[in-house]
C-alpha cells in the first residue's frame, strides 16, 4: 500500500499540463446584508450531499425514495434558486468562509489526493466563528479542504470533533483513496468496517445524543453519497430491484442510505427534545454528474445516473445543472413552509447562520455572503441580485438579475448569454442580439479576474513542473476533476 508521502512525490509527472496562469491579487467584495431578527440561538444541523442531482429526491418528483428529506421539505422552505460552486472543494470552501473561492485560490478543480494545499490558514472558518459564540462544533463526513498537513485538518480549523474522511473520493466500504486509508476520528487514523454513509448517519445521531445541552450545537454532516464509486449495501440495492441500470440502482440506493441517516438525526433531535430549537439545512455540493470527465477516479462503465431536471449539463460546468442544486431549510415555527423563489448562494449561509447564533464577525475578511434570514424564513424577496458562478484563468460566469453570461476565455473562446427568466434550461444564446449586456457582464468577469488569487491547483502544477525533481507518476493523482 502506498503512503501519502509517496503519492505526494509521485504527482510531479503532471508536468506538461501547459495550463496558463493569470496574475491578480485578491480584492474584497463585501456584500453583507441586514442582521437577522433576534431569535433564540438555534442548534444548527447542516447537511450536504455529494454530487446529488437536482431532481433526485422524492419531493422533486424522483422515483428515488427519500421520505425523511421529503418531510423536511414539506414542513420547511424549498429553495428554487439555491446556488453553489460547480465542484466539491470550492462549494465547501465557500460555505466555510462566506467568500467566493476565487478570493483565495480554490476556484479551479478540487484538492487532489496529491495536493499539498488547503483553505488558507488566514481564512476564519464558520466553526471558528460559532465556537467564539459558545457553540460546540462537530464535523461528521467528508472534509476535502486540505489534508497534506495537520494544520488544514478539521480539528485545527474550529471543529471540536471530527469523524470521517479528509480527501474527496473514497471507496465507501474500504474507506481508502488511491490505496491509502482515509478514515479518522479527530486527528487519529481509525480502522473501522462498514458502509461510510451508514456510519456517518449513526455517528451524527450519537453526536446529538451525547451533546451537552448547556451549549448550542453546530453539526456539519457531509455525506459522500451519491458520489462515485456507485456502491451500496445489498439491503439497499434490493429496494430498487426494479431499476435495471446498475449505476442508477446503486445511485438510488446510496441516496436512500443518506435519507435514512437523516431520519436518524431527526429522531435523535426529537429524543433529546432539541428539534424545535434546531435549524436543519440540506443541499448538494454541486449538480449531479453528467460527464465522465467529472465522475471521479472510479472507472464508471455505462450511463451516469444523476438527473438535474430541466437544467443544462451538470457537475464541473458553469451551467445551471452544475450550480443550481436541490436545497431546503427547516426549523419548526421559525421557517415558513413553502417555496422560496429568490436567489441564494451558499456563501450567504455563513453570515446568516452567524447572525442567528449571535456571533460577531470580527476576524473575517470581507464576505461575499449576505444575511438572508428574512428570505429563508419568510420567503421575502432576496436582496441578492448577482451570482458569481466562478472565475478562473479559463472561464467565468456571472448572473445579474435574470441575465447570465458564460464566457469561455481559453481558446477557442465562446460567449453565451441567457435570459433565465424565459430560458432556465439555457437553450438559446442571446449574445449576438445583446452586445451591450455582453460587454457589461464581461466587464464584471474581468473585474473579478483582476481581484482573484491564482488558482492553487495550477500553482501546484507549476511547482511540481519547475521546482520538484522529475519522477514518473500517474498525473491523475494531482489533477482528478471528479473527486
Same domain, 237 and 346: yes
Given 144, 147, 175, 178, the catalytic residue: 144
Q: How many residues does the chain have?
A: 483
User: Is 144 marked active-site?
Assistant: yes
Please name the residue ranges forming H helices in 120-210.
126-132, 196-210
In-domain check, residue 158: yes
Q: What is the largest CA-CA distance in the chain?
A: 61
Of 384, 408, 443, the position where a domain reaches its end is 384
What local confidence, expressed as pLDDT, does residue 22 receive?
35
Question: How does DSSP assign 434-449, residue by residue?
Answer: -HHHHHHHHHHHHHHH
Same domain, 407 and 356: no
Total domains in the fold of the chain: 2
Kindly state the cell numbers that stand for 408: 469561455
In-domain check, residue 223: yes
Question: How does DSSP assign 23-38, residue by residue?
Answer: -----------PPPP-
**What's the number of CA atoms in the CB half-sphere (13 Å) around residue 406?**
18
Q: Report the relative pairing of strands 278-284 and 176-177 from DSSP bridges.
A: unpaired
What local confidence, expressed as pLDDT, does residue 40 receive?
76
In-domain check, residue 167: yes
How much is the CA Rg of the chain, to the nearest whole Å? 21
Domain of residue 434 covers: 389-464
DSSP single-letter state for residue 398: E
What local confidence, expressed as pLDDT, does residue 20 receive?
34
Same domain, 374 and 438: no
Kindly state the cell numbers that stand for 16: 506538461
In-domain check, residue 286: yes
Given 88, 172, 227, 283, the catalytic residue: 88
In-domain check, residue 479: no
Helix or strand (DSSP H, E) at 71: helix 67-74
In-domain check, residue 11: no
Same domain, 140 and 263: yes
Of 384, 409, 428, the position where a domain reaches its end is 384
In-domain check, residue 18: no
Determine how many CB atoms are found less than 10 A away from the CB of residue 36.
20
Block residue for cell numbers 486540505 = 146
Q: What is d(CA 63, CA 54) in angstroms, rounded to the nearest whole number?
A: 13
Helix or strand (DSSP H, E) at 83: strand 77-83
Same domain, 336 and 270: yes
In-domain check, residue 175: yes
> Is the Cβ–Cβ distance between 144 and 174 less than 8 Å?
no
Instruction: Find out whether the peptide bond into 412 is cis, omega within 30 degrees of 0.
Output: yes
Same domain, 377 and 460: no
Same domain, 351 and 431: no
Same domain, 342 and 412: no
Kindly state the cell numbers that stand for 6: 509517496
DSSP single-letter state for residue 324: B
Of 384, 401, 417, the position where a domain reaches its end is 384
- CATH number for the domain harbouring residue 361: 3.40.720.10
What local confidence, expressed as pLDDT, does residue 39 receive?
58
Q: What is d(CA 124, CA 365) in angstroms, rounded to the nearest whole number?
A: 8
Q: What is the pLDDT along the chain (483 residues), one digit of tens a residue?
A: 444 444 333 333 323 333 333 333 233 333 333 434 445 799 999 999 999 999 999 999 999 999 999 999 999 999 999 999 999 999 999 999 999 999 999 999 999 988 999 999 999 999 999 999 999 999 999 999 999 999 999 999 999 999 999 998 899 999 998 889 999 999 999 999 999 999 999 999 999 999 999 999 999 999 999 999 999 999 999 999 999 999 999 999 999 999 999 999 999 999 999 999 999 999 999 999 998 888 876 667 677 999 999 999 999 999 999 999 999 999 999 999 999 999 999 999 999 999 999 999 999 999 999 999 999 999 999 999 999 999 999 999 999 999 999 999 988 999 999 999 999 999 999 999 999 999 999 999 999 999 999 999 999 888 777 765 444 333 344 444 566
Instruction: Find out whether the peptide bond into 229 is cis, omega within 30 degrees of 0.
Output: yes
Same domain, 376 and 394: no
User: Is 88 marked active-site?
Assistant: yes
- What pTM does this model have? 0.90
Same domain, 358 and 396: no
Strand runs labelled E in 240-337: 278-284, 327-330
Same domain, 315 and 419: no
Same domain, 447 and 309: no
- CATH number for the domain harbouring residue 415: 3.30.1120.10
List CB contacts of 98: < 8 A, sequence separation 6 or more. 126, 347, 348, 349, 350, 351, 364, 367, 368, 369
Q: What is d(CA 397, CA 419) in angstroms, rounded to the nearest whole number?
A: 13
Amino acid at each position: 500500500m502506498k503512503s501519502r508521502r509517496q503519492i505526494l512525490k509521485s504527482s510531479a509527472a503532471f508536468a506538461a499540463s501547459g495550463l496558463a496562469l493569470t496574475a491578480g491579487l485578491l480584492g474584497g467584495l463585501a456584500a453583507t446584508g441586514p442582521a437577522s431578527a433576534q431569535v433564540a440561538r438555534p442548534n444548527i444541523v447542516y447537511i450536504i450531499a455529494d454530487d446529488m442531482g437536482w431532481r433526485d429526491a422524492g419531493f422533486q418528483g424522483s422515483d428515488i425514495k427519500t421520505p425523511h428529506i421529503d418531510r423536511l421539505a414539506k414542513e420547511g422552505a424549498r429553495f428554487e434558486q439555491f446556488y453553489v460552486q460547480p465542484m466539491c472543494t470550492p462549494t465547501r470552501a465557500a460555505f466555510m468562509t462566506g467568500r467566493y473561492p476565487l478570493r483565495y485560490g480554490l476556484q479551479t478543480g478540487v484538492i487532489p489526493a496529491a495536493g499539498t494545499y488547503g483553505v488558507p490558514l488566514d481564512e476564519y472558518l464558520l466553526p471558528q466563528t460559532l465556537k467564539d459564540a459558545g457553540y460546540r462544533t462537530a464535523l461528521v463526513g467528508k472534509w476535502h479542504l486540505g489534508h497534506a498537513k495537520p494544520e488544514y485538518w478539521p480539528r485545527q480549523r474550529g471543529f471540536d470533533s471530527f469523524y470521517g474522511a479528509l480527501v474527496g473520493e473514497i471507496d465507501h466500504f474500504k474507506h481508502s483513496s488511491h490505496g491509502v486509508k482515509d478514515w479518522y476520528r479527530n486527528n487519529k487514523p481509525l480502522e473501522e468496517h462498514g458502509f461510510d454513509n451508514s456510519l456517518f448517519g449513526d455517528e451524527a445521531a450519537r453526536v446529538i445524543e451525547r451533546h451537552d445541552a448547556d451549549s448550542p450545537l453546530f453539526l456539519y454532516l457531509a455525506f459522500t453519497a451519491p458520489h462515485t464509486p456507485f456502491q451500496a449495501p445489498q439491503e439497499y440495492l434490493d429496494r430498487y430491484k426494479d431499476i435495471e441500470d446498475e449505476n442508477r440502482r446503486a445511485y438510488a440506493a446510496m441516496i436512500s442510505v443518506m435519507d435514512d441517516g437523516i431520519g436518524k438525526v431527526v429522531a435523535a433531535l426529537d429524543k433529546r427534545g432539541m428539534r424545535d430549537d434546531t435549524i436543519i439545512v440540506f443541499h448538494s455540493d454541486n449538480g449531479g454528474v453528467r460527464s465522465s470527465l467529472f465522475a471521479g477516479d472510479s472507472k464508471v462503465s455505462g450511463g451516469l445516473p444523476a438527473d438535474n431536471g430541466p437544467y443544462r449539463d451538470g457537475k464541473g460546468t458553469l451551467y445551471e445543472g452544475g450550480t443550481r442544486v436541490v436545497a431546503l431549510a427547516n426549523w419548526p415555527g421559525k421557517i415558513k413552509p413553502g417555496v422560496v423563489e429568490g436567489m441564494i448562494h451558499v456563501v450567504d449561509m455563513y453570515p446568516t447562520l452567524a447572525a442567528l447564533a449571535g456571533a460577531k464577525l470580527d476576524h473575517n475578511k470581507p464576505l461575499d455572503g449576505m444575511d438572508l434570514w428574512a428570505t429563508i424564513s419568510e420567503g421575502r424577496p432576496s436582496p441578492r441580485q448577482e451570482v458569481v458562478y466562478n472565475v478562473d484563468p479559463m472561464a467565468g460566469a456571472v448572473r445579474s438579475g435574470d441575465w447570465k453570461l458564460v464566457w469561455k476565455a481559453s481558446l477557442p473562446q465562446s460567449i453565451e448569454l441567457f435570459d433565465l427568466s424565459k430560458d432556465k434550461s439555457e437553450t438559446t444564446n442571446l449574445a449576438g442580439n445583446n452586445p451591450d449586456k455582453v460587454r457589461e457582464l464581461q466587464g464584471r468577469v474581468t473585474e473579478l479576474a483582476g481581484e482573484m488569487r491564482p488558482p492553487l491547483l495550477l500553482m501546484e502544477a507549476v511547482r511540481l513542473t519547475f521546482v520538484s525533481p522529475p519522477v514518473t507518476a500517474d498525473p491523475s493523482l494531482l489533477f482528478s476533476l471528479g473527486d
